[in-house]
């Protein structure tokens, strides 16, 4: 996983509440057995005027000029500003994969759906929670200043607007450590392998039916 | 005396292997359900790192999202769907994981077959790379959806890194009126607390109306806990739970059953346990529910009209309502009973169990007519091969087919349209599934979420009708 330390990037606004994972990456693209190639179909139904078909050449697609990410001023955006309950719906990790592979490194919203929020951290994508009034003010700034950029410093846990100042945000210590170091969580967990083994042995002794196998 | 604990507290405490100083816990996972869409990248990651499956017996796999619901004797026509199903087969074979393959009579939707096989047991942790894993909470199990990285983590370590959620109690007291069912309860709950109402919480459903539900009904309620924002829903163990589990393939038997039953009966919240949030509903006030928008919280009763955004003060919400009405091609203030439909889908992990099919068939029989001429397709997709067999033994298939419904093979089908079953742009569907998001059942498709009885009645009448007048 790519570490996340300090990132500066253009901010794109996604001005609607309850953006669901079906919107972030429609189901026809979930048939892939690979972990890559989802960025091209991020927000597919909103981003393009023609129907999204897996495997279609991106060069032949008809972009929807009204969609925010298709507007020239947001080209190359790497921070997505969003509204309440972003990422609600399914558990598909294809949603954070699509956001990250499109080029986003961080999200800023008042709240996220739990599973989506969790999935982001596994992929080096930082979902920042800020109070609703802060997010609203950032939407105003993005609208007012073309090319609006923010700097996110994970170590210091602050978002820095170009006008100066620093907006603090919370992040759990363990997740922060994993992101800063780009750490492999499975490897970290396996440091406790003996403890897991002992726990399991004791549990299966008390509830042996948990190990039943049916063929 | 020890501190009173909720059911969630008890199951959580029972599974903590290790805790970090910031409260992150390593939680032991008893049961891992696997399907074809969210697992291929996890198996690939496991193989690339040279890791093995930690405990093979914990896993049970099935393909459900991509499988055709029509004749399967020639395999899957769509090569992309086929590759995903073949990949699961190969991964399970290579690792020795039990899998019900496409033509196994036990095949079905992962959240139907887990309970049906007794693979979902009280007091266990159950995870699956699917958000509707919350379904299994009906058995007093801590069950929730996970992403693909976590699928790999569970395969490799039999644990998950987790943070404890808050406790929410949703108490539904009183008696549900005739013509209403579990689906109406859970849609009413979502209508009340919203799709983010349960975010960060585990919801325990309790109260007389929940206790009165069958296991099938309880699964319907817990299934949609995720639509209320909660990763997990829970219902305490009682006689209904225990009666359901007896004699299932994965259930304990003999002396082990006695031991298990004794433990399972302790699986309820202590009387004075603390809940961070409490919500109460009166079941007698719940009427048949119909969603009108593109989020499950956009729901009203059959006796209502399509809401008017002009009467909404919150600008964010008004904007969402206007957008939803445009997408759904509905005008404000239109009576719900005036909405005509093009297709009907009875199925999904929410409503495809035997009781759901009985409820729908009873309405069809009572109306004694065929599917309305404006309804292009009305399909019934049983949740599993075993549910299908049971329904056929009861003659339900003949009732459906006699009225012009299609009777299909088991799978997720048109709940999310990853197989060939889908809505065409602009088509309007009465669906017993769980999500009415834009494009969920097919690009440009319009979904109204309802109970099996309401879907069946809409199929016959061609528009939504109040099933209470049939009861």
Q: What is the pLDDT of residues A14-71, one digit of tens each?
A: 999 999 999 999 999 999 999 999 999 999 999 999 999 988 888 999 999 999 999 9
Residue A10, beta-bridge partner list = A149
Confidence of residue B404 (pLDDT cuts 50, 70, 90): very high
Q: Which of residues 128-167 of A touch B (CB under 8 A)?
A: none
Smallest Cα distance from B181 to chain A, Å: 23
Token couple for B68 = 């055709």
Residues of chain A with pLDDT under 70: none
Smallest Cα distance from B22 to chain A, Å: 6
d(CA B264, CA B243): 12
d(CA B204, CA B221): 11
Residue of chain A whose alpha carbon sits nearest to that of B319: A16
pLDDT at B1: 60
Q: Which of residues 44-63 of A touch B (CB under 8 A)?
A: 45, 51-52, 54-55
Average pLDDT over residues B39-65: 96
CB atoms B21 and A210 under 8 Å: no
A85 at B interface, C-beta within 8 A: yes
Residue of chain B whose alpha carbon sits nearest to that of A23: B438
* pTM score over 0.90: yes
CB atoms B117 and A214 under 8 Å: yes
Smallest Cα distance from A98 to chain B, Å: 14
Q: B99-119, pLDDT tens digit by residue?
A: 999 999 999 999 999 999 999
A185 at B interface, C-beta within 8 A: yes
Average pLDDT over residues B173-180: 97
Taking CB atoms and an 8 Å cutoff, what residues of chain B touch A193? 157
Smallest Cα distance from B28 to chain A, Å: 8
Confidence of residue B471 (pLDDT cuts 50, 70, 90): low
Q: B331-346, pLDDT tens digit by residue?
A: 999 999 999 999 999 9
For chain A, the straight-line distance linking the first and the last C-alpha, in angstroms and rounded, comes to: 37
CB atoms A91 and B252 under 8 Å: no
Residue of chain A whose alpha carbon sits nearest to that of B264: A207
From the DSSP assignment, how many helices (H) and strands (E) are in chain B?
Answer: 15, 19
d(CA B150, CA B146): 6
pLDDT at B448: 98
Looking at chain B, the whole-number percentage of residues with pLDDT higher than 70 is 100
For chain B, the straight-line distance linking the first and the last C-alpha, in angstroms and rounded, comes to: 50
Interacting residues of B434 by C-beta distance below 8 A, sequence separation 6+: B132, B223, B224, B227, B296, B348, B349, B350, B415, B449
Token couple for B417 = 């349209």
Q: Is B149 helix (H, G, I), strand (E, B) or coil?
A: helix
**Nearest-CB residue to B131 (from A26, A115, A174):** A115
Residue of chain B whose alpha carbon sits nearest to that of A190: B157
Q: B202-243, pLDDT tens digit by residue?
A: 999 999 999 999 999 999 999 999 999 999 999 999 999 999
């Amino acid at each position: 996983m790519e570490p996340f330390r300090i990132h500066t990037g253009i901010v794109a606004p996604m001005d609607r509440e309850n953006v669901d994972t079906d919107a972030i990456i429609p189901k026809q693209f979930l048939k892939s057995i690979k972990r890559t190639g989802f960025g091209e179909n991020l927000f597919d139904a909103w981003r393009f005027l023609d129907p999204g078909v897996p495997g279609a050449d991106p060069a032949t697609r008809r972009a929807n000029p009204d969609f925010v990410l298709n507007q020239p001023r947001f080209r190359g955006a790497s921070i997505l500003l969003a509204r309440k309950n972003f990422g609600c719906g399914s558990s598909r990790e294809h949603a954070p994969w699509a956001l990250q592979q499109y080029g986003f490194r961080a999200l800023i919203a008042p709240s996220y759906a739990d599973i989506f929020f969790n999935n982001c951290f596994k992929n080096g994508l930082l979902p920042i929670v800020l109070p609703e009034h802060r997010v609203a003010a950032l939407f105003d700034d993005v609208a007012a200043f073309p090319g609006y950029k923010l700097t996110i410093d994970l170590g210091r846990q602050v978002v820095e607007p170009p006008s100066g100042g620093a907006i603090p945000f919370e992040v759990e210590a363990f997740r922060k450590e994993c992101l800063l170091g780009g750490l492999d969580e499975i490897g970290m967990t396996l440091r406790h392998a003996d403890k897991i083994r002992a726990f399991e042995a004791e549990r299966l002794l008390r509830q042996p039916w948990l190990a039943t196998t049916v063929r | 005396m020890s501190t009173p604990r909720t059911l969630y507290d008890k199951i959580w405490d029972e599974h903590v292997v290790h805790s970090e100083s910031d409260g992150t816990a390593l939680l032991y996972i008893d049961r891992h359900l696997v399907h074809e869409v969210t697992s291929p990248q996890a198996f690939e990651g496991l193989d690339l790192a040279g890791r093995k499956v930690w405990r093979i017996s914990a896993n049970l796999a099935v393909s459900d999202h991509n499988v055709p619901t029509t004749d399967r004797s020639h395999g899957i026509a769509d090569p992309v769907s086929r590759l995903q199903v073949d990949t699961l087969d190969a991964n399970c074979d290579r690792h020795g994981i039990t899998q019900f393959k496409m033509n196994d009579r036990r095949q079905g939707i992962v959240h139907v077959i887990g309970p049906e096989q007794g693979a979902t047991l009280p007091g266990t942790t159950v995870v699956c790379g699917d958000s509707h894993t919350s379904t299994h909470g009906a058995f007093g199990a801590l069950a929730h959806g996970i992403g693909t990285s976590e699928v790999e983590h569970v395969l490799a370590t039999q644990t998950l890194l987790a943070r404890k959620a808050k406790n929410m109690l949703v108490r539904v007291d009183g008696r549900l009126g005739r013509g209403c069912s579990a689906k109406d309860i859970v849609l009413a709950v979502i209508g009340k607390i919203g799709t983010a109402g349960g975010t960060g919480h585990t919801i325990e459903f309790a109260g007389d109306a929940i206790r009165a539900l069958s296991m099938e009904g309880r699964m319907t309620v817990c299934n949609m806990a995720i639509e209320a924002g909660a990763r997990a829903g829970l219902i305490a163990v009682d006689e209904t739970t225990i009666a359901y589990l007896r004699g299932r393939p994965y259930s304990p038997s003999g002396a082990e059953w006695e031991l298990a039953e004794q433990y399972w009966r302790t699986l309820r919240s202590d009387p004075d346990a603390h809940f961070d949030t409490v919500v109460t509903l009166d079941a007698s006030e719940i009427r048949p529910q119909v969603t009108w928008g593109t989020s499950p919280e956009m729901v009203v009763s059959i006796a209502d009209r399509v809401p008017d955004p002009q009467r909404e003060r919150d600008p964010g919400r008004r904007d969402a309502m206007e957008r939803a009405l445009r997408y759904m091609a509905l005008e404000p203030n239109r009576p719900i009973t005036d909405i005509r439909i093009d297709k009907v889908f009875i199925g999904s992990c929410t409503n495809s169990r035997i009781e759901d099919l009985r409820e729908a068939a009873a309405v069809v029989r009572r109306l004694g007519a065929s599917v309305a001429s404006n309804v292009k397709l009305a399909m019934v997709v049983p949740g599993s091969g075993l549910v299908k067999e049971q329904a056929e033994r009861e003659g339900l298939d003949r009732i459906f087919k006699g009225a012009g419904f299609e009777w299909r093979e088991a799978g997720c089908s048109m709940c999310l349209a990853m197989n060939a079953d889908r809505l065409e742009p602009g088509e309007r569907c009465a669906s017993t599934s769980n999500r009415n998001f834009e494009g969920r059942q097919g690009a440009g498709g319009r979904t109204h979420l309802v109970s099996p009885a309401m879907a069946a009645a809409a199929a016959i009448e061609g528009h939504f009708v109040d099933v209470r007048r049939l009861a």
